[in-house]
C-alpha cells in the first residue's frame, strides 16, 4: 500500500513491487487480489495494467486496513463467536473481557493513523 501510495495515482505493476521489495510475485498477486476485493486497490488488467489506490490515502485508516486484511483477532478460544466449546472458567474469568478491551484500545489507536500519515513519513525518510 505504501509503495502504491507513493506513486500518486499512477499504475504500479505487481512485478515492480515484487522486485523492489524482494517478495514472491505469486504471493503478491494473491495479496493484491484480496486488497482489490476489499476495496483498497483498483486493479487494471492488460499490457499497460497495474494497481493503484482506490481511496485517497487520507481515507485509509490503519485499523480499518488491518481489520480488512486479517481474519482472526481472537486472542483466546472464548473470544471466537463460533466457538462451540464452552470455557471451564466462564462466568468468573476476566480474560475475555480484558483481552477484548485491549483489542478495542489497539484498534482505536491504529484508527488514529492513515495511509497519508505513513506516506508522509516515507517521503521524509526518502529525502
- The predicted-structure confidence for 39-93, as pLDDT tens digits, reads as follows 999 999 998 999 999 999 999 999 999 999 988 887 777 766 655 566 666 666 7
- Contacts for 32 with CB less than 8 Å, ≥ 6 apart: 14, 41, 43, 51
For the chain, where do the domains classified as CATH 1.10.10.10 start and end? Answer: 1-59
- Counting residues of the chain whose pLDDT is more than 70, the rounded percentage is 89
Average pLDDT over residues 24-42: 96
115 grid coordinates:
495511509
* pLDDT beyond 80 at 23: yes
pTM of the model: 0.80
pLDDT computed for residue 82 by the predictor = 56
pLDDT computed for residue 101 by the predictor = 92
17 grid coordinates:
513491487
In the numeric block, the cell 488514529 is attached to 112
Counting every residue, how long is the chain?
127
How far is residue 112's CA from residue 104's CA, in Å, rounded to a whole number?
Answer: 13
pLDDT computed for residue 37 by the predictor = 96
Contact 2, 122 (CB under 8 A): yes
The CATH topology of domain 1-59 is Arc Repressor Mutant, subunit A (1.10.10)
Average pLDDT along the chain: 89
| Buried b or exposed e, range 16-41, using 16+ CB within 10 angstroms | ebbeeeeeeeeebeebbeebeeeebb
- Counting residues of the chain whose pLDDT is more than 90, the rounded percentage is 69
pLDDT computed for residue 120 by the predictor = 95
List, in sequence order, the alpha helices (H) in 38-94. Answer: 62-69
Amino acid at each position: 500500500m505504501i509503495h502504491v501510495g507513493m506513486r500518486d495515482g499512477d499504475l504500479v505493476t505487481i512485478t515492480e513491487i515484487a522486485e523492489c521489495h524482494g517478495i514472491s510475485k505469486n504471493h503478491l498477486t494473491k495479496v493484491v487480489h484480496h486488497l482489490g476485493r476489499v476495496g483498497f486497490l483498483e486493479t487494471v488488467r492488460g499490457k499497460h495494467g497495474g494497481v493503484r489506490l482506490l481511496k485517497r490515502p487520507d481515507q485509509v485508516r490503519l485499523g480499518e486496513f488491518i481489520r480488512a486484511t486479517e481474519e482472526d483477532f481472537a486472542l483466546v478460544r472464548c473470544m471466537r463467536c463460533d466457538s462451540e466449546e464452552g470455557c471451564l472458567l466462564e462466568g468468573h474469568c476476566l480474560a475475555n473481557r480484558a483481552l477484548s478491551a485491549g483489542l478495542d484500545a489497539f484498534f482505536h489507536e491504529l484508527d488514529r493513523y492513515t495511509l497519508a500519515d505513513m506516506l508522509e513519513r516515507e517521503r521524509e525518510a526518502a529525502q
